[in-house]
A and B are shown apart, each in its own frame.
Chain A
Amino acid sequence: MTTWTSTPALGTSRRTGRDPAVVPGGLPRWAFVPAALGGLFVVLPLVAMGTRVDWTNYWGLITSESARAALALSLQTAATSTVVCLVLGIPLALVLARGRLPGQSLLRSLVLVPLVLPPVVGGVALLSTFGRRGLLGESMEVLGLQIAFSTTAVVLAQSFVALPFLVVSLEGALRTAGERYEVVAAGLGAGPTTVLRRVTLPLVWPGLLSGTVLSFARALGEFGATITFAGSLQGVTRTLPLEVYLQRESDPDAAVALSLLLVAVAVVVIAATHHRGPSR
């Protein structure tokens, strides 16, 4: 709880804060040049976009009816997707980190696929599953459930792309934490559910938190799978990234203003997770 690994998301167990190789002065000087370029590469486009913003009309641009509808829908769907990710992702990470099932490494690879898949491909895959003529879609249609073009489709698309972020973060944290305390607790007579609730989850809490925030951020930024699978209708499926993409066509100023709004949300989200940052 007191110590954060700086990269729990990647599942490394190295506590970089204590690694002598990265103490200032121990670092080769040449490394600062590409490091500075790398930082600039990320920051410069964001600053450049800031210079394009029509500040005098900014408030009007981000509070238009369509912008408010898109923001509200984005926050609502991203929050719902995060819950879906937690419900499905925590057990999945536990199984991957602690289970001893055959084919587990294959399962891990498969779960991580959406991480590297272009989201539009994810959209096509979801369409093949939940679409009207999809694998499950046909039976759902019979039951009167229509997924495509609904807000549910947006949540499915976002959960699909965001789930791996939670699983990777949490699994890394679980592996780093090890099983010592769990073994002790079990030896003292605690049942598996008690061990999970009282020992395991509190131990990996920082990893779980950062995984949650990462999946929320990923869900909030989801574009490709949504536009392919869910469609685009104000207040129903047109989330903020889709609204930005559409506004580019007719109102570039609005597109830039809304982009900056998304950047602001992203910064707040990241600041919230790294607030208690890596221990020094």
Chain B
Amino acid sequence: MTARARRTARVTAALLAATSVAAGLAGCGPGPVAADGTTLTVFAAASLTEAFEQVADDFEADHPGVDVRLSLAGSSSLVAQIQQGAPADVFASADTTTMDELVADDLVGTPQDFATNTLQIAVPPGNPAGVASLQDLAAPGLRLVVCAPQVPCGAATAATVDGAGIALQPVSEEQSVTDVLGKVTAGEADAGLVYVTDVARAGDQVDGIPFAESDAAVNTYPIATVTDTDQPELAREFVDAVLSPEGQAVLAGLGFAAP
């Protein structure tokens, strides 16, 4: 029942998100709170979706009566929501910059790094454009899609490309890494720069091409308890579950590297 309640909460959150997007303005609406038992609300970066769903299921199994509610969105959006007072107990970000904003505002406890992620080239199955290296992405006529520099994956892209001394001419700078992946899986783009975990997540819908220069931008994922939480012990236990060998194994299974 907890799993179903959590799923419902997730669907509600998605609907709320869809509504606010449709309205063209971002809103932060807290979802419904479970009437029975204890609810732990975890705000996590969208790239952590599968990993945190598994960790949350395990956590609920270990903590009867506890319902983990996941709110998954872009890290920047989640930071904005927490700054506006959204009811979160734990926050896991896709980069240290966004987490540092909350640290500076005293809204979270001391963050701990729990995973890293690096960029990889994603191409449609069979690699029709014959991309083999980062340099190939600069080839004229290649339809390349990347993240906009304003979002974390775009910042990582810029750091990598600048470090390698090449100039890219993307046909689109997307809002999120999911949008980049979507353009590649749809076959609209010849190549996209996404995270290793996105390639793993997409299964056989894309092929991943690792490249050495990706070391220039290693993305670190920090997690912290939210200062205003009503249940600091439980929030702490969730953070520990993510850092535990079991939690780390889940992350590793999805392509994340250890910090």
Binding site for B on A (CB under 8 A): 45, 49, 118-120, 127, 131-133, 148-149, 221, 223-224, 227, 231-234, 237-238, 241-242, 244-252, 259
Contact = CB atoms under 8 A, between A and B. Distances in A.
A241 B143 CA distance: 24
Given A131-B186, A244-B24, A250 B172 contact: no
A133 B21 CA distance: 27
B151 interface: yes
B22 A247 contact: no
Interface of B: 18, 21-22, 24-26, 74, 76-77, 80, 143, 145, 148, 150-151, 170-175, 179, 183, 186-188
A149 B186 contact: no
A221 B24 contact: yes
Contacts of A245: 24, 175
B174 A249 contact: no
B258 to A, nearest CB: 28
Contacts of B173: 231-234, 238
B172 A237 contact: yes
A248 B25 CA distance: 10
Given A224-B22, A231-B145, A249 B172 contact: no
Contact of B150 (A131, A237, A246): A246
A133 B186 contact: yes
Given A133-B186, A149-B143, A252-B80, 20 more contacts: A49-B25, A118-B22, A127-B188, A131-B188, A132-B187, A133-B187, A149-B171, A221-B24, A224-B22, A231-B171, A232-B175, A233-B170, A233-B171, A233-B172, A234-B173, A245-B175, A246-B150, A248-B26, A249-B77, A249-B150
A217 B175 CA distance: 24
Contacts of A248: 26, 76-77, 80
The 4 closest A-B pairs by CB, nearest first: A231-B172, A250-B150, A149-B171, A249-B150
A123 to B, nearest CB: 10
Contacts of B151: 246, 249-250
15 contacts: A127-B188, A131-B186, A131-B187, A149-B188, A224-B21, A231-B145, A231-B173, A231-B174, A232-B175, A244-B24, A247-B150, A248-B77, A249-B175, A250-B76, A251-B150
A259 B80 contact: no
Given A246-B150, A247-B150, A252-B80, A231 B183 contact: yes
A238 B179 CA distance: 14
A61 to B, nearest CB: 15
B148 A246 contact: yes
Contact of A249 (B22, B24, B74, B188): B74
A250 B76 CA distance: 8
Given A246-B148, A249-B74, A249-B150, A232 B172 contact: yes
Contact of A259 (B25, B74, B170, B179): B25
Contacts of B22: 118-119, 224
A132 B175 contact: no
Contacts of B172: 149, 231-233, 237
Contacts of A118: 18, 22
Among B151, B183, B186, max chain A CB count under 10 A is at B186
Q: Which of A49, A119, A127, A247 has the most CB of B within 10 A?
A: A127
Given A231-B172, A232-B174, A132 B188 contact: yes
A223 B20 CA distance: 12
Contacts of B25: 45, 49, 259
A237 B145 CA distance: 13
Contact of B175 (A127, A148, A227, A251): A227
A45 B188 CA distance: 38
B13 to A, nearest CB: 17
Nearest to A124: B186
Contacts of A127: 186, 188
Contacts of B174: 227, 231-232
